[in-house]
Amino acid sequence: MNFWQKPVETLLELLQRKAPHLRQVRHFPSQHLGREVDFDVYLPPDYHRSQGRQYPLVVFNDGQDLPVMNFSGILERLFFTHEIPHFIAVGVHASGARMHEYGTARQADYKHRGDRAPQYTNFIIRELWPNLERRFRILEDPAHHVFAGFSLGGLSAMDIAWAYPDVFGTAGVFSGALWWRWSPVHPENPDADRIMHDIIRQSTHWHEGQRFWFQCGTLDEEDDRNGNGIIDSIDDTLDLIRELRSKGCPEHDVWYHEMEGGRHEPHTWGEAMPNFLKWALKV
């Protein structure tokens, strides 16, 4: 808005609060997990003024990492510049059982990590989601529901979104642990037995309209199990994208964001966050 054309309106806009309202929910009881869950809700700045308005929803695994990357500051800047619509964000904190609760619900990995992923999936779909629907004004169409996560939390978000397209229309995977496998690496076929790839491969089709955003950093790791000169996190992500496309997912419904010098850490994920939000929320 140009100040000289509309000085009063511009001044009012500058004075309006653009930061999200943070609501901290602690000790939310989960029967499926058998424990209490903490999560943070970031409400858009106009939430309490716009009675009746419904909003898109973005849920994050590893929600305890959002403050580390200054998530509120990122939202405030993007709201102020009108680069994203107002939306509700929920950051679900991981527990000390993170390595057991995150993973793929179909099966644990070869070291039995992710053995409680089915219970975590049930918590998200049957406990958290209904609670959010009751308490907050969320748009009903799954096209406006996003599930995202970081590293192993990204794998979990991808697995849950793929299994429940009627709940989540978009998945966001930051430095995803897509190497997750049911057996140790075989030197003769080092890319075999990756669980998420097989889940998509064994699916009959892509869920029409569902969208997928992936981020990798060139310094996410140093491992290169197949010796092709590309780190595993990038290889695994690009291979998963190929699996999605083989099921009919069109190019415009998949976004790959590779960050030169990006590391496996919240600072890098915070730098990638605006790209993710702008794509996932599609103004």
CA 107-157-263 angle, 5° bins: 105
* Closest among 283, 200, 280 to 242, alpha carbons compared: 200
In angstroms, how far apart are the furthest CA atoms of the chain?
Answer: 69
Q: What is the mean pLDDT of residues 85-108?
A: 98
The answer, yes or no, to whether residue 6 has pLDDT greater than 80, is no
Residue 43's CB is within 10 A of a number of other CB atoms, namely 18
pLDDT at 5 exceeding the cut of 70: no
Q: Residue 18 has what pLDDT?
A: 82
Q: Given strand 254-263, what is the order of strands in its sheet?
A: 21-30, 35-43, 88-92, 57-60, 145-150, 170-174, 211-219, 254-263
> Average pLDDT of 251-256?
96
Among 8-17, 32-41, 203-212, name the one with the lowest average pLDDT.
Answer: 8-17
Asked if pLDDT for residue 70 goes beyond 90, the answer is: yes
Of residues 127 and 7, the one with the higher pLDDT is 127
Strands 35-43 and 88-92: antiparallel
Instruction: Report the percentage of the chain scoring pLDDT > 90.
Output: 90
Tell me the C-alpha distance between 131 and 249, whole Å: 31
Average pLDDT, the chain: 94
pLDDT at 3 over 50: no
Residue 39 CA, chain-centre distance (Å), reads 15
Distance, in Å, from the CA atom of 214 to the CA atom of 62, rounded to the nearest integer, reads 16
Reported as a pLDDT band with limits 50, 70 and 90, residue 8 is low
Residue 53 is predicted with a pLDDT of 96
Any bridge partners for residue 58, and if so which?
Answer: 89, 146
- The pLDDT, as a whole number, for residue 13 is 53
pLDDT digits (tens, 9 = 90+) for 101-158: 999 999 999 999 999 999 999 999 999 999 999 999 999 999 999 999 999 999 999 9
Domains of the chain, with CATH numbers?
A: 18-281 (3.40.50.1820)
**CA pair distance 34, 91, nearest whole angstrom:** 20
- Region 14-25: mean pLDDT is 80
> pLDDT (tens digit, 9 = 90+) per residue, 178-216?
999 999 999 999 999 999 999 999 998 889 999 999 999
Would the pLDDT of 93 be above 70?
A: yes
Q: How far apart are CA 211 and CA 253, in angstroms?
A: 5
Mean local confidence (pLDDT), 75-92: 97
Q: Is 99 exposed, middle or buried (0-12, 13-18, 19+ CB in 10 A)?
A: middle
Q: Read off the pLDDT of each residue in 223-238 and give the average, rounded to a whole number.
A: 97
65, exposed or middle or buried, with CB in 10 Å at 0-12, 13-18, 19+?
A: buried
Q: Looking at residue 89, what is its pLDDT?
A: 98
Question: What per-residue confidence (pLDDT) applies to 4?
Answer: 54
For range 23-48, the mean pLDDT: 97
Structure-block tokens of residue 9: 């309106």
**Lowest-pLDDT range of 2-6, 65-69, 202-206, 228-232:** 2-6
